[in-house]
């Protein structure tokens, strides 16, 4: 599990560091709320993945959905 956890962390950090500097700076209320919901959803999926209740594909999909909403 430790090795998988390190891989997930590396994937997460690589994607976050690859984001442009202005990501997440949209001041529109609806966009901010959507990004916040997607981040909370990603956090829940990550916890479920650590408990063995979610697949890697679900984790990756939730991460991509959150990061893409930050780019809007």
SS3 (DSSP) at 68: helix
61 three-state secondary structure: helix
Domain that holds residue 24: 2-71
What DSSP designation does 25 have? -
Predicted local distance difference test score (pLDDT) of residue 27: 81
- pLDDT tens digit sequence for 2-41: 577 899 999 999 999 999 988 888 788 999 999 999 999 9
Residue 1 is predicted with a pLDDT of 47
Percent of the chain with pLDDT over 70: 96
Residue 26: what pLDDT? 79
* Predicted pLDDT at 2: 57
The number of domains in the chain is: 1
């Amino acid at each position: 599990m430790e090795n998988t956890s390190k891989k997930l962390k590396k994937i997460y950090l690589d994607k976050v560091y690859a984001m442009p500097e202005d990501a997440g700076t949209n001041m529109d209320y609806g966009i901010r709320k959507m990004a916040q919901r997607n981040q909370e959803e990603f956090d829940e999926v990550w916890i479920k993945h650590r408990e063995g209740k979610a697949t890697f594909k679900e984790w990756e999909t939730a991460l991509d959905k959150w990061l893409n909403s930050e780019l809007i």
